[in-house]
Structure 1
Amino acid sequence: MSSLRLVSRLLQLLLGLFLFGIASSLMIRAAIGIAPWDVLSQGIALRSGWGFGAITNLVGVCVLLMWLPLRQKPGLGTVLNVLLIGPSAQLGLDLLPAAQGLWWQLLLFAAGLVLLAVATGLYIGARFGPGPRDGLMTGLHARTGWPIWKVRTLIEACALAVGWWLGGNVGWGTLAFALLIGPLCGVTLPLFDRQPRATAAAPTA
């Protein structure tokens, strides 16, 4: 692999992770419901008094520790995912005001949802390893033999339930996220995939 290609992939990874955090902050500021893992981080942040970004990092570390009994191996993308998404989400929250009025809320949420799908395609397409949550999903799938959809649904349902109990924002946006993020990522993942089509391996998420 040429050094230029490696640098290009690294820049794609970093851009994807930065935009992922910004996308989360857009949906949070829309205040009509957020993604299950963000509900969990927001709920813990509300109860602890810590910033959302710091809690996002902490949750990522905890999820990564769950890889140990599953014998999953993190990649560079996995580690940077844990370190970088929290700060970029906190930056977005510090810069963005809360949406005023339903139309602005819908616009912010839609922008965040689309941007998150693009960010997911970028960081996974760079092929430096899955995020901690995706690795937990594939690890449990390998250990239990359960279908991917069942494992992912169980994990995200648990995160959502705990986050909602702690006070995280669950709403119509949460349902919209669950229904739309899959099809949107179905577009962005192949669009930004850096693996040549002739030798493409299975997706990492």
Structure 2
Amino acid sequence: MPLIHRLLRLAVGLFAYGFAIALMVRAGVGVAPWDVLTQGLSKHTGLSFGLVTFLTSLVVLVLWIPLRQRPRFGTVANTLSIGPVADFGLHVLPQQSVWWAQGLTFAGGLLLLAVASGLYIGADFGPGPRDGLMLGLHRRLGWRVGVARTAIEVTVLAAGWLLGGQVGIGTAAEALLIGPLVAITLPLFARRRAAAATTGSTPVAVAT
């Protein structure tokens, strides 16, 4: 895949990812674990959701150091873009309060998140800060990827809930559905390496 096409996919994917987060927040039915933490921190600090997202990403990147994880271009792009785009989305999108509008808004956000993940991951520019932390725990400590992800997300979810972040049916829906949805969108957008082209396999990568 030409570099310009990969860069375009990365840019579109990151913008869509941030906007999808804003849709899910505005639905008002619960958000993903990291966003629960972001909401809780934003509530107590008075900082915008997007700014807290950015600052949290920086803290997570610091945790990469002892794990010997190296950021790539996509990692930096993710850190710099997701927060501002989420703030933009929260500025232009209305808060939903009617059940059917909440459901449609959340479903739209979740589907957009899956497409965005496929675009961003498929560009193959490296993991985002949070998934890089998961991979670092896997590689350095020998934790299975699933165990590392679960441990991280349970921790941030609990912290976010204690800080007043929004936990609800959307939180459970995101946890159950985002994996299968990305499994559908990733093959549509994945960059095929030479080896993958000869074996017919699709490279495995991670998102934010």
TM-score w.r.t. structure 1 length? 0.95
In the alignment, is residue 42 of structure 1 matched against residue 39 of structure 2? yes
CA–CA separation in structure 1 for the residues paired with 2:61 and 2:122: 20
**One-letter code of the match for 2:197?**
A
Q: Percent identity?
A: 57
Q: Is 1:204–2:200 an aligned residue pair?
A: no
Deviation at 1:23, TM superposition (A): 0.3
Question: What does 1:7-156 align with in structure 2 at a 5 Å threshold?
Answer: 7-156=4-153
* Structure 1 counterpart of 2:204, one-letter code: P
The structural deviation recorded for 1:191 is 1.1
Q: Matches of 1:29 and 1:115 in 2, distance apart?
A: 14
- Structure 1 partner of 2:175: 178
In the TM superposition, residue 15 of structure 1 has moved relative to its aligned partner by 0.6
Query: Displacement, 1:146?
Result: 1.7
Secondary structure at the aligned position of 2:18 is classed as: helix
Number of positions where the alignment pairs a residue of Structure 1 with one of Structure 2: 202
Shift of 1:72: 0.8
Where 1:66 maps in the other structure, the secondary structure is helix
Counterpart amino acid of 1:114?
L
Deviation at 1:33?
Answer: 0.3
Amino acid at match of 2:21: S
- Listed as ranges, the gaps of 5+ residues in structure 1 are none
In the TM superposition, residue 24 of structure 1 has moved relative to its aligned partner by: 0.3
TM-score in terms of structure 2 length: 0.94
Deviations 1:85-139 (A, max 9, x none): 0000000000000113100000000000010011111111100111111111111
RMSD: 1.2
Alpha-carbon displacement from aligned partner over 1:10-61 (angstroms, at most 9, x marks no partner)? 1110110000010000000000000001111111001000000000000111
Give the whole-Å Cα distance in 2 for the aligned partners of 1:144 and 1:189. 28
Equivalent position to 2:160, from 163, 188, 192? 163
The Cα shift of 1:201 comes to: 7.1
Structure 2: 5+ residue runs without aligned partners?
Answer: none
Moved over 6 A (4+): none
